[in-house]
Structure 1
Amino acid sequence: MRTKLLFIFALVCGLAAAGGVYLYLNNLAETYRFQGNFAPVVVAKQTIPARTPIGRQSLEIKEIPADYVHPEAFTRIEDVEGRIARAEIYPGEQILASRFATPENSGNDLALVLQQGERAVSIAIDPVSGVSGMLQAGDKVDVAVTIDVSTSIVLQNIRVLAVNSGSAAENKSGPAANTCVLAVTPKQAEYLILATERGSIRLMLRSPADTAVTQTPAVRVEQLVNKGGS
């Protein structure tokens, strides 16, 4: 009987101690939150494979001590959803900006930097049509084509993916390139391919701050001659 009472007493003491520790830790966490020492961060809920879009179901928000939040971490799921993982991300891992594919970190893997609905199309250029070899990945260009006796701008604000066979990190100002890869929609790809097959194209470099689309009619030879003689 005495042994049984001692066992019950020990069990009650153990439960009381466990309850006390739980309440202490819970109160401590609430104190940290109240004092602003915890911060929300987006983490992987499950393994996210490389080269795949990140779905909402793979993410969750966790609150962790603010001192342990990585500077590149995100606090909102919508800022992460849909991006492409450059490498595998493991459960519980903070989602960092450097884990996403960008023109700067994708190497020669252009598929990782294509956005939804985009296609990569390679065209031939020379020092004249390619802006004297000064194009770099990440630049924006307009595409003008001359067919027979008229010239027109067929595409505007098109993103350059690569110049020659290099990537964004390799395509600094250098020797004249002979190929250029542009990011276009399927319909834009049709215009671009037809322009390169049936005419002569020029790429026109745009300012990064200029995204406006300009409506300009095609120019014909007779207009140029008439204007020159006026």
Structure 2
Amino acid sequence: MGRRMVLLVVAVVMAVLGAGLVYAYAQGAEDRAADDYDTVEVLVARDELAPGTDFRQALDEQRIRLVEVPNGVLIEGSTADNRPFEGQVSLTTIYPGEQIIADKFGATEDVDAVDLLPIPQGMIAVAVELSDTGRVGSFTQPGSRVAVFVTSASQDGGEDGLGEPARLIYPDMQVLGVGSRTLPRSEAVGPDGGPIGETSVTLLTLAVTQEQGERLIALQNNPEKILAFGLRNSVSDVVPSPDPED
């Protein structure tokens, strides 16, 4: 009888200890879960940021903003402090909802130029200078499709007195980028008798084959020729003109 009592007491003690351990584990798991669901503010991309995107500009445009994120999904290096990123640009594509970390930002010169433009396989990027009218105003943007025309800089002569007509040389090209540069003040005199001030020209970067690039560069550098673009879409009906000597 005494031995049975001892075994019973031992069993009760073990059961109590087991229950205590289970409770302690469950309580710890609950606390850990609560910690995982506690939130903290970190910088997060709202929109997709292409390589070379300026951090300050993206922040001012609210493309990067502070978001409360559960502790359980924080990644190493995430922060709410924008100061380390000032003056830096994204080094790679950053996707919507991605937390901002230092490893993905750096100086402009650290960006791989190949990543800045989505150049199709087998093609190269060539920049062409155009006026606003030559690029269809402000409607031509990265991703646009354009038809390329060339005409003579001199419009004297011709049967109707209008000079040489423009010719379509490339019916469909992809615009990779749009930029601008300022031309210095000219010493020439404008219509009002005053000096011509600084002017801006648009730089359109196109995806081209080597042969197309060679031809566009030659036309661009020929003072007797003028290039112009026509904005097009998938249903535009354009056919290249006959190909006389440029």
TM-score (norm 2): 0.37
Larger radius of gyration: 2
